[in-house]
Amino acid sequence: MSGGTQAMTGHPSGALVFYSAFDDFDTWKNALHACLPSLRILHASEVTDPAGIHYALAWKPPAGFFDSMRNLRLIINLGAGVDALVGRKDLPANVPITRITDPDMARMMAGYVLFATLRHAREIPWFEQAQRRGEWAYRHPRSPRDIRVGVLGLGELGAHAAHELQRQGLTVLGWSRSPREIPGVRCHAGMDALDTVIAQSDILVIMLPLTPQTHGLLGRERLERLPRGASLINVARGALVDQAAMTALLRDGHIGAATLDVFTHEPLPADDPLWRMENVLITPHLASVAIPASAATQIAGNILRVARGEAPLHEIDPSRGY
Ligand code: NDP
């Protein structure tokens, strides 16, 4: 289903409202229109009759956005992480919430994680530093099998990334809340197993949702359980990690290097010491994004399900936070 849209049969009633400060309305409108030609699609700024809105496709809308939409039937989070949505006060009761669940988004995330992991596995940051000193600094590469990669979070994105990592011959450990099975990945579940996974990770990849249970999960004590010199990759949410403790451990070498796409405060403030650390690679929260052409198929499918009176697929559980 990836890489293209196709018209679907069915006539959803009402209109869809779109809001995102990051995504292009016309691109999304065209992609959705190709799937659901009869659906009225409005930008939030065009809405004159909030009661006629049955579907909302939104990323971080302003407070009160949903207040007057009293006939909403489905909220679609324009992204995978729903942490900014689930705690809102203006969410109507009993309206299902879904998120983007799209193979192209998982592929894009796995690409970033592969790049970052292999960069650490092949010690590229160390060679970059040697190059800046004009030094031919030979270091014999390690066998992929001898490099242990821990993946925290084995959901839509995490499971795909773990699968791609084990395809590289790396030793991959996974961690989730409920038991999972991924061929070639040593899967662990539950809080009791977390410290074991961390202690065995030469490279730790964070791919958990931000929820009340995972907020601050990687505090100083847990980060200190990493083998000395381990690398850290965070593509999930900054608040999962104690950023001050992580910075201190990067400074003293306990954490050897990090690739960080997410931060406690975004944009990362200009005076943050992480910007100037040689062993840190910073990207501005773009490890993966929703891709209209492929995601529209999933969104349209769910709109039609709801229009037929069925539950949407991939519904999130607000009480669980993801
Ligand atoms: P999912 O919701 O599909 O999966 C979440 C995974 O985390 C599941 O394996 C779940 O366990 C596990 N988990 C949740 N809570 C706990 C807990 N308390 N203890 C142990 N495991 C837990 O998420 P995705 O894979 O789709 O995405 C992960 C996160 O990536 C998103 O929430 C978002 O924050 C971030 N993201 C970042 C992007 C970026 O550009 N940087 C882009 C897109 C997403 P179980 O399997 O048992 O349910």
**Which atom of ligand 1 lies at the shortest distance from residue 320's CA?**
15
- pLDDT of 1 over the 70 cut: no
Question: For the segment 249-299, what is each residue's pLDDT rounded down to a tens digit?
Answer: 999 999 999 999 999 999 999 999 999 999 999 999 999 999 999 999 999
Question: For the segment 109-167, what is each residue's pLDDT rounded down to a tens digit?
Answer: 999 999 999 999 999 999 999 999 999 999 999 999 999 999 999 999 999 999 999 99
Average pLDDT, the chain: 96
Q: From the candidates 43, 122, 285, 314, which is the catalytic residue?
A: 285
- pLDDT of 241 over the 80 cut: yes
Distance 40 CA to ligand 1 centre (A): 32
pLDDT score, position 4: 52
Atom 32 (ligand 1) nearest CA: 209
Distance (Å, whole) CA 256 – CA 251: 9
Residue 125, H or E segment: helix 124-132
**Which atom of ligand 1 lies at the shortest distance from residue 194's CA?**
20
Instruction: Tell me whether residue 237 is one of the annotated catalytic residues.
Output: yes
pLDDT score, position 2: 41
Where in the chain are all domains bearing CATH 3.40.50.720?
Answer: 15-102+290-307, 104-282
Question: For the segment 29-38, what is each residue's pLDDT rounded down to a tens digit?
Answer: 999 999 999 9
Residues 6+ apart with CB under 8 A from 234: 206, 240, 241, 258, 259, 260, 261, 262
Distance 236 CA to ligand 1 centre (A): 7
Which residues contact ligand 1 via a Cβ below 6 A? 79-81, 153-158, 176-178, 180, 207-211, 213-214, 235-237, 261-262, 285-288, 322
Q: At CB < 8 A and 24+ separation, what contacts does 274-280 make?
A: 274/243, 274/247, 274/250, 277/247, 277/250, 277/251, 278/125, 278/129, 279/125, 279/250, 280/250
**Which atom of ligand 1 lies at the shortest distance from residue 235's CA?**
41
Q: What DSSP designation does 45 have?
A: G
Which amino acid is residue 259, in one-letter code? T
Distance 154 CA to ligand 1 centre (A): 7
Distance (Å, whole) CA 120 – CA 114: 10
Q: From the candidates 237, 254, 305, 320, which is the catalytic residue?
A: 237
Please choose from 208, 222, 234, 285 the residue to mutate so as to test ligand 1's pocket, defined by most ligand atoms within 8 A of CB: 208
**Which atom of ligand 1 lies at the shortest distance from residue 262's CA?**
41
Q: How far is CA 308 from CA 191, 227, 287, 288, 300, in A?
A: 40, 53, 35, 32, 12
- pLDDT of 104 over the 70 cut: yes
pLDDT score, position 8: 76
Architecture of domain 104-282: 3-Layer(aba) Sandwich (3.40)
Distance 9 CA to ligand 1 centre (A): 32
pLDDT score, position 11: 76
For domain 15-102+290-307, say whether CATH 3.30.300.30 is its number: no
ipTM above 0.95, yes or no: yes
Residues 6+ apart with CB under 8 A from 14: 40, 52, 53, 54, 55, 71, 73
Distance 153 CA to ligand 1 centre (A): 5
Instruction: Tell me whether residue 228 is one of the annotated catalytic residues.
Output: no
**Which atom of ligand 1 lies at the shortest distance from residue 153's CA?**
7
Which amino acid is residue 237, in one-letter code? R
Distance 23 CA to ligand 1 centre (A): 22
Distance (Å, whole) CA 137 – CA 268: 32
